[in-house]
Structure 1
Amino acid sequence: MAATPPVCDFGWKAPAFSLPATDGKTYALSNVAGPKGTLVMFICNHCPYVLAVLDRILRDARDLQGLGIGVAAICANDAVAYPDDSFPEMRRMAEAKGFPFPYLHDESQAVARAWGAACTPDFFGLNAAGELQYRGRLDASGRMPGPADARRDLYEAMKAIAETGRGPAEQVPSMGCSIKWKVA
C-alpha cells in the first residue's frame, strides 16, 4: 500500500541507533554522520518505488558523500512476511549494487518507530547538529522512474544543508510502500 510521510518537522533531533550492517559491522548514528550533515533513508529490497530509483539513490549518495554528507540506509520491514527484505537478501543487494553506504538492518523495528518512518523510500536529511532539515522526495519519480533530467530534490536540499545548515522551506513528501510492520 502506498504511503506518504508527514512534512518536515524542522529541528527535530534524530534519535541515536546502533544497528548491524550488511558489511558485518555495527553502526551507530554517530558513525555514519558526516561533517556537514547526514542522510538516513529507510528503504527495502522489494519495494517497486525503491527499485524504480535505486540507481538514482546510489548516484545521489555518492555525490552527497563528496559534499561531506554521511549516508546510511535502513531496512526495517518484517522479513518473515517479506523474505526479500531479509538480512541475507539485503547483503546480496548491497553487494550486487555496490552500495557506497552502510545498509543497516532494523530487525526489531525500534529505530523505524523512533524515527517515525512511514514508507520506503523515506528520506531524513539532518544538518551537522543532527536536526531534521529535509523529509522530502528523491525527485519526481514514483513507481516508475521520472524523466532522466528530473530535478534532484533530495540532492539539492542536502547540498543546501551542507552549505547553510538549513533545508528548503518547501518540500514535496516522498511516496512509497508503507513500512511492513510486524504483527504484535
Structure 2
Amino acid sequence: MGAIPPVCDFGWQAIDAVLPGIDGKSHSIFSHAGPNGLVIAFICNHCPYVKAVISRIVRDANDLKPEGIGFVAINSNDADAYPDDSFDNMKLFARTNGFTFPYLHDERQTVARAYGAVCTPDFFGLNSELTLQYRGRLDAARRDAGPPGLRRDLFEAMKQIARTGDGPLDQIASIGCSIKWKDAA
C-alpha cells in the first residue's frame, strides 16, 4: 500500500540545505529556485511509483523552466537497507532518465525530516518567496501512462504559482512508497 503525504501547509517557509549532487558538487537547494519558484521532489531510484512517472517528472521539470520555476530532486532513502538507492545508482538513474535538474543525496535524512516528506514521489511547490503553495500529485495517472490530454496537476499548479504566487486551494495528495528511514539509534 502506498504512503500518502498530508495536505498543503500553505505559507510554510521552506528550509535551505546544502547536499551533495550526483555531479560531484555541493548544492544549496534554494540556489536552484527560478525567479517564480521552485519544485523540490523527493524521489528515489527503486520505487515503482517513481519509475512509472519519471519521464513525466523530467518533462514537467523541463516545461516549468520557461515559467521561471526551478526544479531539484532529492533522494533520502536509506541506501544501506536499499542498495538500489545508492549514490552510484542515483547517477545511473539520472543518466538513464535524462535528468536536466540536480539530483541530490540526503544521506543523513535531515532534509526529508525537516520537510516532513512521506513518500516517493513527494512534491513541494514553492513560490518566489520560497513558501509552500503546492503539495500534491504529479497527475491523475499515478503509476499508469494515462490518456492523452491528462491534466498535469503539478505543472498547472506551478504555472498558477508563477503567475500569482499562490497555489490552488484544491490539491490531491501524491501517493508512493514510504521513505525508507534509517533505524533510530
Q: What TM-score do you get using the length of structure 2 for normalisation? A: 0.97
Deviation at 1:63, TM superposition (A): 0.3
Quote the offset at 1:67 in angstroms.
1.0
Does the aligned pair in 2 maintain the 1:32–1:71 contact within 8 Å?
Answer: yes
Stretches of structure 1 that go unaligned for 5 or more consecutive residues are none
Once the two structures are superposed, the pairs formed by residues 77-96 of structure 1 within 5 Å of their partners are 77-96=77-96
SS across alignment from 1:12: coil
Structure 2 CA distance for aligned equivalents of residues 151 and 9 of structure 1: 23
CA distance in 2, matches of 1:136, 1:82: 26
Q: Percent identity?
A: 63
**Which runs of 5 or more residues in structure 2 are unaligned?**
none
Cα offset, 1:36, TM superposition: 0.4
Structure 1 position 143, deviation (Å): 3.0
Q: CA offsets per residue over residues 104-153 of structure 1, 9 Å max, x none?
A: 00000000000000000000000000100000000012333332321000
State how far apart, in whole Å, the 2-side matches of 1:27 and 1:43 are.
17
SS at match of 1:71: strand
AA aligned to 2:117 is: A
The residue that corresponds to 1:181 in the other structure is 181
- Matches of 1:100 and 1:53, distance apart in 2: 15
Deviations 1:66-112 (A, max 9, x none): 21101000000000111110000001111222201000000000000
Please name the residue that 1:2 is paired with.
Answer: 2
Deviations 1:31-83 (A, max 9, x none): 11111000000000001111111110000000001211010000000001111
Alignment of 1:68-147 (within 5 A): 68-147=68-147
Contact 1:49/1:144 (CA < 8 Å) preserved in 2?
no
Q: Secondary structure at 2:96's aligned position in 1?
A: helix
